[in-house]
Structure 1
Amino acid sequence: MYSDSPHQFYNIYQEYSLKFYQLPKVFFTNELYKNMSNHAKIAYAVLQDRLQLSIKNNWYDNDGNIYFIFTNENLKDILNIKSNSTLQSVKNELIVANLMSQERRGLNKANRLYLLRPIVRNEDIYSIDRLEADTVEMDVRRDEQGKFQSGSTKTVLPDEGSKSIGTEGSTKIVLPGENLKSVAPEGSTETVHQEVQFLYTNDTDFNELKEDTYKDTLQDTEAEQNRILLDNFSKINELSGLSNETLEMIATFSSDIKEADETIGIIFRAKKKIEDARGIRLDTHMLDAEIQQTLLKNYRKFKTDEKIKNQSNYLFGSLKNFFEDITIRMSESSTNLKYPKLHEWLDK
């Protein structure tokens, strides 16, 4: 029989309520991605959702790889990000995790962004399958009345004068009425709400509480000051010769302003070491893109290699080798013109 019940119709509002961004589960199992910020993970999901738009726009290169063309302002709007430093932080996280790469396209042109597939290991497959199996098992634990079976967490709200005995292996929380007797099974954890004055009684000294509160306030203040300094790091160091993008990347991967300043110092100490040895001066601005890539490689190394104990020394050695390689390439270009533009890297 025909029915015009509204429940039978497909509704446009209901259909749109079922549209979701997909977040790879491997982000929560693989050590390469687990420590990424939720902001970066969500950004990946949003960009992944826009792959179809890139295909419609014919945004793919000669190899068939799909890319995005977004200005920073477009990206901030899409990802609901307010500041350039936060956007750069998100992009750098994805680049270091090898989930995104970008291709520079020259002055006043938006970079091409490529989204990369996450790495899935055998361990990830096992972890994801186990997680999904655990979810199914939790559903199976319900009996016909919808109550959890043995091994579940049970909350009991008894009637006056009732008795409650927990299931073996369960955690039971009992809010008793008057004259309630509660018998706890062996091996279970039982929490019973008693009189309020007994429930919250402790021997914490008020002066200790004030001291802890004072310390927390100082720590919060210091953290806020540090955040402000890192957010403005590129402005503070705008005369360093490094680009805003490189400076913002350094701020992103630094735990505090002291570490960010130290990184700047390491770059220029490594550069001066080679300049003094070779008797030349290198143009920091012309080398900025390669300096940035060298830093990114090191940041990735720090995230994945636990054997590195002194990151400052490692970074200094890496940058020194980079500047040494530049001077060698310059020397070769002067004899066989293999690198005709390398003279531009010299400080004029």
Structure 2
Amino acid sequence: MTKRFNATQINAELFWKFPKFLSENKKYANLTNDDRVAYMLIKDRYRYSLSNNWIDKDKNVYVYFTIEELRQLLHVGKNKVTRVKNRLIDAGLLEIEKDGFNPKDKKNYPDRIYLLQPEYDPTDLISQSSHVSALEQSGIPKMGTNKDNNSSDTIKDTDQWNFSTNNYTPEQVAVQNQDLLSHLGETLTGDKEAPMFLNKDSINLIAKWFSTPEGASECISTILNAANDSRKNAESQIGHHELYFEDYNNELKRMITNRLRRYFNKMRTAKDGEIKNPKNYLYIAMRNMFDKWQNDVLMTEKD
């Protein structure tokens, strides 16, 4: 008998983000669904690349993604993966640079994979099929018009819709950031008590230590990457396995909070230059914790 999702399980799941242009932009209509999924999987690796400082001399981010890894995730053969990569290259969405043998450390390195930004028009950012047609069918008037067909309500000054920090004073930016950080949990999921896989204490802790929403978001992404990679490693060893954040009376969530406090304490007390990459340090700390958690859970289940 199949089980339905309950409210706590929804927040515990891990997701990939699928770029809408892959389906809605006509320039890429000839891509297959495997091509689109491959682009999504590769782009998801960028957060992991940032945590490992995989950035070239031109400050471009690259990923390492072997044919075997893609083959397993796409559930296809190696020849199919090669064709997928070639189609993405032909579409102008992918570049590959061969690293090969590095005489300095005497190691062979896999190819560097660079995703390329898509070509799109501003209208491509709006889902015409899923939003506009639905509004028209529902009888809801279009924005910027009234019953007299007067377009005077339309905002003509696009600068009013430019929310770059360049359009605000430093004082205004500080107030905006503080508001977003003080409501970080609600901003992320709309759930004040248990946003995403973190508890309220973890969210509040992150908000205290980062001065911008971007920094807080990167911190959360780093923790999520560590959890996701730990789960994938467990799956590669024992088959299908989920990392449940609600198990054992939320013990794992409390462990995340404690590990975060230890991390921030280390950042504050470490000597200058002792920790060269704070983001990578957080990833490793969280990854080790998730690995141990899963191992303990699996050993308990085995016993």
TM-score (norm 2): 0.38
TM-score between both structures, scaled by the size of structure 1:
0.33
Q: Tell which has more relative contact order, 1 or 2 (C-alpha 8 A, sep 6+).
A: 2
